[in-house]
Amino acid sequence: MTDPIKRFPRTLYTVGTEPDPRFSFANERTFLAWIRTSLALLAGGIALEALPLDIDDVLTATIAAALIMTGILSSVHAWWSWYRSEKAMRTGQPLPAATGTAPLAACLTLVGIAIGVAVLSR
C-alpha cells in the first residue's frame, strides 16, 4: 500500500480510512467530466474570439471572456468538489451537495441568450 504521506494532497490522505476504490474511481470520473467541460468552455471562448464572425467585436470579446472565465472556474470547482467528496467518503460523512451545476447552467444560459441576440441583431 502507498504511504499516505506521499500522496497529494496530504491534508486529504492523512484523515479517515480508505474508501471502497469503486467510489473513489467514480469521484475521479466526475472530476474528469468537469475537466472536460472546462476544456470545452475554454475552447469555445477561444474559438469565438478567433473566428471571423459578423458580431459586434465588444460583444464577441465579452462572450468569449465569459466562456473562458467559466471554464477556469469550472476547473477550480472540479478539484474542490473532488476533494470535498473524497474527504467525506474517507471520514464517513454524507457526500456534499452539488454546487457547480446551477452557476454553470446560469452562465451558459446567459451566454446563449447573448449569442442569440447578437446573431439576430445583425
User: How many domains does the chain fold into?
Assistant: 1
| Residue 7 falls inside a structural domain | no
pLDDT at 1 (0 to 100): 54
Name the nearest CA neighbour of 33 among 25, 45, 43.
25
Does some domain include residue 36?
A: yes
Residue 10 placed within a domain: no
Is there a domain that residue 9 lies in? no
Side chain identity at residue 63, one-letter code:
I
In tens, the pLDDT along 61-109 reads 999 999 999 999 999 999 999 999 999 999 999 999 989 999 999 999 9
Asked if residue 1 is part of any domain, the answer here is no
CB 14, CB 4: distance < 8 Å: yes
d(CA 45, CA 40): 9
Look at residue 4 in the predicted model and tell me its pLDDT: 52
On whether residue 73 sits in a domain, the answer given is yes
Predicted model pTM: 0.85
Which residue matches cell numbers 454524507?
A: 94
Kindly report, residue by residue over 3-59, the tens digit of the pLDDT. Answer: 556 888 888 888 899 999 999 999 999 999 999 999 999 999 999 999 988 888 899
**Residue 110 resides in a domain:** yes
Range of the domain at 37: 19-120
CB atoms within 10 A of CB 70: 24
Note whether residue 8 is domain-resident.
Answer: no
